A and B are shown apart, each in its own frame.
Chain A
Amino acid sequence: MAQVTYLEAIRQALDEEMARDPSVVLIGEDIGVYGGAFKATEGLLARYGWERVIDTPISETAIVGAAVGMSYLGLRPVAEMQFMDFIVCCFNQIANYAAKSHYRWGAPVPIVVRGPSGGGVHGGPFHSANPEMYFVHTPGLKVVCPATPRDAKGLLKSAIRDNNPVLFFEHKFLYRRVKEELPSEDYSVPIGKAALRREGRNLTIASYGAMLHTCLDAAGELEKEGVEAEVIDLRTLLPLDREMILASVRKTNKLLVVHEDTRTGGIAGEIAAVVCEEAFGDLDGPVVRVTSLDTPVPYSPPLEERFLPNAARIADAARRLAHY
Chain B
Amino acid sequence: MAESTEIALNREQQLELYYFLRLNRSLEEQLARLFRQNQIVGGLYLSLGQEAISVGTAYALGPGDWIAPMIRNVGALLVRGYKPRGILTQYMARYTSPTFGKDTTSHFGDLHVRHVVSPISMLGDLIPVMTGVAMGARYIGQKTVAMTWIGDGGTSTGAFHEGLNLAAVQKAPLVLVVENNQWAYSTPVARQVPLVDLADRARAYGIASVVVDGNDVVAVYGAAKVAIEHARSGGGPVLIEAKTMRMCGHAQHDAAEYVPKEMLEQWKARDPVARFERHLTEQGLWDKRTKEALDARVQREIAEDLAFAESSPFPPPELAEQGVYCEGCHEIAPVWQRPVEELLPPKSSVRAEWPSFAEAAEGRPGNARMPALAEGQTARAAASGNGARRGRAKAAAKRKSARRPARPKARR
Q: How far is the CA of A52 from the CA of B169 in the complex (A)?
A: 16
- Whether, in the assembled complex, B163 has its beta carbon less than 8 Å from a beta carbon of chain A, the answer is yes
Q: How far is the CA of A37 from the CA of B111 in the complex (A)?
A: 35
Q: Which chain A residue lies CB-closest to B334?
A: A74
Decide if A308 is an interface residue (CB 8 Å cutoff).
no
Indicate whether A69 sits within 8 Å of B129 (C-beta atoms), given known contacts A75-B139, A105-B109.
yes
Interface positions of A from 33 to 63, Cβ below 8 Å from B: 33, 35, 43, 45-52, 54, 56-57, 59-63
| Distance of A45 Cα from B350 Cα, bound (Å) | 7
A residues less than 8 Å from B128 (CB atoms) = 59, 61-66, 68-69, 93
Which B residues, 148 to 197, have Cβ-Cβ distances below 8 Å to chain A?
158-159, 162-163, 165-166, 169-170
CB-CB under 8 A from A73, the residues of chain B are 133, 136-137, 139-140, 334
Contact A33 B166 (CB under 8 A): no
How many angstroms between the C-alpha atoms of A74 and B127 in the bound complex?
19
User: Would you give the shortest CB distance from A87 to chain B, in whole angstroms?
Assistant: 15
Assess whether B349 is in contact with A69, with CB atoms less than 8 Å apart.
Answer: no
Which of B118, B137, B163, B334 lies in contact with A23, CB distance below 8 A?
A: B334
Q: How many angstroms between the C-alpha atoms of A62 and B98 in the bound complex?
A: 28
Distance of A48 Cα from B125 Cα, bound (Å): 29
In the bound complex, residues from chain A placing their C-beta under 8 Å from that of B162 are 57, 59-62, 65
- Whether the pair A22, B125 counts as a contact (CB closer than 8 A) is no
User: Counting CB contacts under 8 A, is B87 at the interface?
Assistant: no
- Report yes or no: A59 in contact with B345, Cβ–Cβ below 8 A: no
- Contact (Cβ within 8 A) B118 A107: yes
Q: Of B103, B326, B343, which contacts A52 at CB under 8 A?
A: B343
CA distance A107 to B328 in the complex (A): 13
Assess whether A3 is interfacial by the CB under 8 Å rule.
Answer: no
Instruction: Contact check, B327 vs A163: say whether CB atoms are below 8 A apart.
Output: yes
A107: which B residues are within 8 A, CB to CB? 109, 111, 117-118
Q: Is there a chain B Cβ closer than 8 Å to A237's Cβ?
A: no
B122 neighbours in A (Cβ, 8 Å)? 92, 96
Closest residue of chain B to A140, judged by CB?
A: B324
Does A139 touch B at the CB level, under 8 Å? Answer: yes
Given contacts A56-B166, A65-B132, contact A104 B107 (CB under 8 A): yes
User: Within the complex, what minimum Cβ distance (angstroms) separates B333 from chain A?
Assistant: 5
- B348 to chain A: which residues have CB within 8 Å? 47-49, 51-52
Q: Contacts A22-B344, A47-B348, A49-B343 known; A69 to B166 CB distance under 8 Å?
A: no
B323 interface residue, CB < 8 Å from A? yes
Chain B CB within 8 A of A158 CB: no
Choose from B166, B326, B333 the contact partner of A102 (Cβ within 8 Å).
B326
Cβ-based interface call for B60 (8 A) = no
A-binding segment of B208-216, B238-246, B351-359: B351-359
A46→B349 contact, CB < 8 A: yes
Q: Would you call A103 an interface residue if the criterion is a C-beta within 8 Å of the partner chain's C-beta atoms?
A: yes
Q: Does A118 contact B (CB under 8 A)?
A: no
A164 to chain B, nearest CB (A): 5
Whole-angstrom distance between the Cβ of A24 and the nearest chain B Cβ: 10
Given A46-B350, A57-B166: A75 touches B324 (CB 8 Å cut-off) = no
Judging by beta carbons under 8 Å apart, are A100 and B132 in contact? no
Quick check: is A108 within 8 A (CB to CB) of the other chain?
A: yes
- B175 → chain A, closest Cβ, in Å? 14
A274 CB to nearest chain B CB (Å): 18
Residue A187 is within 8 A (CB to CB) of chain B in the complex: no
Q: Is residue B377 contacting chain A, with contact meaning CB distance below 8 A?
A: no
Compute how far the CA of A311 lies from the CA of B158 in the bound complex, rounded to whole angstroms. Answer: 43
Q: Which of A46, A69, A105 contacts B107 (CB 8 A)?
A: A105
Q: What is the CA–CA distance of A53 and B136 in the complex, to the nearest angstrom? A: 13
- Which chain B positions have C-beta within 8 A of A115? none
Complex interface: chain A residues within 8 A of B350 (CB): 45-46, 49-50
Q: Which residues of B contact A92 (CB under 8 A)?
A: 122, 125, 159
> A residues 65-121 with Cβ under 8 Å of B?
65-77, 92-93, 96-97, 100-108, 110
Q: Which of B335, B344, B354 has the most CB of A within 10 A?
A: B344
Known A47-B345, A104-B118: A66·B102 in contact at CB below 8 Å? no
A25 near B: Cβ within 8 Å?
yes
- Determine if A104 and B343 form an interchain contact, defined as CB atoms under 8 angstroms apart: no
Known interface pairs A47-B348, A48-B343, A97-B129. Does A139 touch B107 (Cβ–Cβ under 8 Å)? no
Query: What is the 8 Å Cβ interface bit string for chain A, positions 134-158, against chain B (1 contact, 0 not)?
Result: 0000011010000000000000000
Q: How far is the CA of A48 from the CA of B169 in the complex (A)?
A: 20
Instruction: Please give, as numbers and ranges, the residues of chain B lying within 8 Å of A103 by CB-CB distance.
Output: 102, 323-324
Query: How far, in whole Å, are A22 and B140 apart by their CA atoms in the complex?
Result: 10
A237 to B298, CA, bound (A): 53
Per the bound structure, the CA–CA distance linking A106 and B319 in Å amounts to 13
Shortest Cβ gap from B117 to chain A (Å): 6
CA distance A61 to B123 in the complex (A): 12
Inter-subunit contact A108/B323 (CB<8 Å): no
A69 and B136 contact, CB distance less than 8 A:
yes
Q: Does A32 contact B (CB under 8 A)?
A: yes
A residues lining the B interface (CB < 8 Å):
19, 22-23, 25, 32-33, 35, 43, 45-52, 54, 56-57, 59-77, 92-93, 96-97, 100-108, 110, 139-140, 142, 163-164
B residues at A contact (CB < 8 Å): 98-99, 102-103, 107-109, 111, 117-118, 120-122, 125, 127-137, 139-140, 146, 158-159, 162-163, 165-166, 169-170, 323-330, 332-335, 340, 343-345, 348-354
Can you spell out 22 A-B residue pairs with CB atoms less than 8 angstroms apart? Answer: A32-B352, A46-B349, A47-B348, A48-B343, A56-B166, A59-B166, A63-B128, A65-B132, A66-B128, A66-B163, A69-B133, A71-B132, A74-B136, A74-B332, A74-B333, A92-B122, A105-B103, A105-B118, A106-B99, A107-B109, A142-B325, A164-B325
Q: A23-B333, A104-B102, A163-B332 are in contact. List 10 more A-B contacts (CB 8 A).
A: A35-B352, A62-B159, A66-B135, A68-B132, A69-B131, A73-B136, A101-B118, A105-B108, A106-B99, A108-B329
